[in-house]
Amino acid sequence: MKLADIFQDGAVLQRGKESKIWGEDPNGTHVKAVLKGKTSVIAETSVQNGKFMLTFPAMEAQKDVLLKLVNDRDEVICLKDLAVGEVWIAGGQSNMEFRMAWDAERDNILSEYENTMIRFYETPKISYEGALEEENHSTEGVWRKAVPDEIPYFSAVGFYFANKLQKEFEGVPMGIIGCNWGGTSVSCWMPEEDLVSEFQVYIDLKDKTRGMDLEKEFETFKKRRADELSPEQCERLDLLMKNPIVEPQPPMNPTPEMEAFMALKYAPFSAFSAGNLYQTMLKKIVPYTCAGVIWYQGEEDSLPEYGGKYDRLFAKMIERWRMDWQEELPFIFAQLAGFTNPGGKLSLNFTQVRADQELASKAVKDAWMAVTYDVGLQYDIHPKQKRPVGERMALQALHHVYGKEQLSESPDVTAVRKEEGLITLEMIHTGDGLCLAGEDEKVKGLELTVNGRSVENYSTVVNGNLLQIQSDQIHENSCISLRYAWKDWIETNVYSSAGLPLRRSEEHTSELQS
How many other CB atoms are there within 10 angstroms of residue 265's CB atom? 16
User: 64-101: per-residue pLDDT in tens?
Assistant: 999 999 999 999 999 999 999 999 999 999 999 999 99
pLDDT for res 508: 75
Q: What is the mean pLDDT of the chain?
A: 94
3-state DSSP call for residue 45?
A: strand
Is 50 exceeded by the pLDDT of residue 512?
Answer: no
pLDDT for res 514: 42
Q: Which pLDDT band, with edges at 50, 70 and 90, does 157 fall under?
A: very high
Give this prediction's pTM. 0.96
Q: Give phi and psi for 234, each to the nearest 5.
A: -65, -40
Residue 149 burial (CB < 10 Å; 0-12/13-18/19+)? exposed
Q: Tell me the average pLDDT across 136-157.
A: 96
pLDDT for res 346: 65
- Give how far the C-alpha of residue 322 lies from the chain's centroid of Cα atoms, to the nearest Å: 16
Q: What is the dihedral of CA 385, 403, 324, 26, to 10 degrees?
A: 90
Helices (H), 143-275: 156-168, 200-207, 214-228, 231-242, 256-264
505-508 and 480-484 strand pairing = antiparallel
pLDDT for res 344: 58
Contact yes or no for 271/69 (Cβ under 8 A) = no
Which residues, listed in sequence order, are joined to residue 12 by a DSSP beta bridge?
Answer: 83
CA distance 62 to 173: 7
Is 60 exceeded by the pLDDT of residue 50?
Answer: yes
Bigger pLDDT: 158 or 511? 158
pLDDT for res 392: 98
User: 107-116: per-residue pLDDT in tens?
Assistant: 999 888 999 9
Q: Which pLDDT band, with edges at 50, 70 and 90, does 248 fall under?
A: confident
Contact yes or no for 91/297 (Cβ under 8 A) = yes
Is 90 exceeded by the pLDDT of residue 252?
Answer: no
DSSP code string of 63-131? EEEEEEEEETT--EEEEEEEEEEEEEEEEESHHHH-BGGGSTTHHHHHHH--EEEEEEEE----SSTTH
Which residues, listed in sequence order, are joined to residue 155 by a DSSP beta bridge?
Answer: 99
Contact yes or no for 469/419 (Cβ under 8 A) = no
Q: Which pLDDT band, with edges at 50, 70 and 90, does 513 fall under?
A: very low
pLDDT for res 307: 82
Q: What is the dihedral of CA 186, 314, 369, 145, to 10 degrees?
A: -40
| Percentages of the chain per state (helix, strand, coil), in multiples of 5 | 30, 30, 40
User: 349-376: per-residue pLDDT in tens?
Assistant: 899 999 999 999 999 999 999 999 999 9
Structural element, H or E, at residue 391: helix 387-396
State the helix-helix crossing angle for 310-325 and 350-363, rounded to 10 degrees: 50
CA distance 394 to 298: 20
pLDDT for res 505: 86
User: 159-215: per-residue pLDDT in tens?
Assistant: 999 999 999 998 899 999 999 999 999 999 999 999 999 999 999 999 999 889 999
